[in-house]
Amino acid sequence: AQSVTQPDIHITVSEGASLELRCNYSYGATPYLFWYVQSPGQGLQLLLKYFSGDTLVQGIKGFEAEFKRSQSSFNLRKPSVHWSDAAEYFCAVGRRDTGTASKLTFGTGTRLQVTL
């Protein structure tokens, strides 16, 4: 079964600083990969996804992520964080072996705090 690890439970960065949130997955093949963001009291919003092709993917709000097969990682980055980016970030894996992206497996999330 697939699994996702987000090793950082809580990260604090200053506004304007760069950000990298880590995500490692365990899966027998190349999975579908996603990053979602959840603001307090809100549902999950898709930031970006990787299905195939270019391993550097661009998302909304200036985020990007890079799929590294050799490291089983899909880290999320942003060059300059804004105070409005404070939220919880979830990495997720979808299965590819059955030809579906159903049944996402989520990491435990990283809570981002932004200081002014």
Partner 1 sequence: GAGVSQSPSNKVTEKGKDVELRCDPISGHTALYWYRQSLGQGLEFLIYFQGNSAPDKSGLPSDRFSAERTGGSVSTLTIQRTQQEDSAVYLCASSRDYTDTQYFGPGTRLTVL
Residue with tokens 């999330």: 109
- For partner 1 (CB under 8 A), the number of binding residues is 22
| Residue 30 found at the interface with partner 1 (CB under 8 A) | no
How far is residue 32's CA from residue 50's CA, in Å, rounded to a whole number? 6
The neighbouring-strand residues paired with 78 are 19
| Residue 89 found at the interface with partner 1 (CB under 8 A) | no
**For partner 1, which stretch binds (CB under 8 A), given 23-31, 56-64, 67-75, 94-102?**
94-102
Least Å distance, CB 101 to partner 1, is 5
| Residue 50 found at the interface with partner 1 (CB under 8 A) | no
Per-residue burial over 53-65, b if 16 or more Cβ lie within 10 Å, else e, is: eeeebebeeebbb
How far is residue 10's CA from residue 72's CA, in Å, rounded to a whole number? 21
Which residues form the interface with partner 1 (CB under 8 A)? Answer: 34, 36, 41-46, 49, 90, 92, 99-109
